[in-house]
A and B are shown apart, each in its own frame.
Chain A
Amino acid sequence: AQKVTQAQTEISVVEKEDVTLDCVYETRDTTYYLFWYKQPPSGELVFLIRRNSFDEQNEISGRYSWNFQKSTSSFNFTITASQVVDSAVYFCALTGAGSYQLTFGKGTKLSVIP
């Protein structure tokens, strides 16, 4: 069985602070894929990143960066210089090779205070 744990239920930061959202996963698959999605107050889940288990390079996209560490089964997400528009619920998700199903974490609600 697969499992994704996002231990932080809610985080509040002041604008321009850096913030890291934690994601820990469990899987028996040797090939698997990890995702992050953003859900703003409007409700739509927006895809942010997809990572396969063979690629442990960190990824940076603007103010967003992702740290994938297989040794600790973690796929953490950092927002640098946070902005009010970053306020949303962020979900980490996992799927195995050949599987149609995504296993989601419970999400972390991020509030960025001006």
Chain B
Amino acid sequence: DVKVTQSSRYLVKRTGEKVFLECVQDMDHENMFWYRQDPGLGLRLIYFSYDVKMKEKGDIPEGYSVSREKKERFSLILESASTNQTSMYLCASSTPYLTGEGAQGDTQYFGPGTRLTVL
């Protein structure tokens, strides 16, 4: 079974603190993703990585950065946490269904989520 783990289920931080959210997957997946989930807004992609040290911005990257030094680990960093970053953060990983035309419709597998509160 695919296993995606996140370092904390619940986290409380103060405004201005630097926050690290860690995600680890054990299936040797190439791709990893960070989403945030908010009521009424659904899931929104923050950043994703398709290889070690490679990253791409998602729909809402402002205020966040990421790090992928090893294939199995993808970190989300809030450089200076703000109250509007209070949210549920979900990590996911996937490996491509490779066909002659390249990656096709990967299935993403999610971790349990980290509920972050910034006071």
Contacts and interface: CB of A to CB of B under 8 A. Distances in A.
* Chain A interface residue number, banded: 20 to 34
A47 B109 contact: yes
A97 B100 CA distance: 12
A97 B40 contact: no
Interface of B: 9, 31, 33, 40-43, 45, 48, 50, 56, 58, 88, 90, 92, 94, 101-113, 115
A43 B110 CA distance: 10
Contacts of A44: 110-113
Interface in A60-114: 91, 95, 97-98, 100-102, 104-107
B112 A100 contact: no
A70 to B, nearest CB: 15
Contacts, number: 59
Interface of A: 31-33, 35, 37, 42-47, 50, 52, 91, 95, 97-98, 100-102, 104-107
Contact of B107 (A47, A97, A106): A47
Contacts of B106: 95, 100
9 contacts: A43-B113, A44-B112, A46-B110, A52-B105, A95-B106, A97-B104, A100-B56, A100-B94, A104-B43
Contact of A32 (B45, B58, B102, B105): B105
A104 to B, nearest CB: 5
B105 A100 contact: no
Given A43-B88, A45-B90, A107-B42, A33 B104 contact: yes
A101 B45 contact: yes
Given A33-B104, A106-B40, 12 more contacts: A37-B110, A42-B112, A43-B113, A43-B115, A44-B113, A45-B90, A45-B92, A50-B105, A95-B106, A98-B104, A100-B106, A101-B48
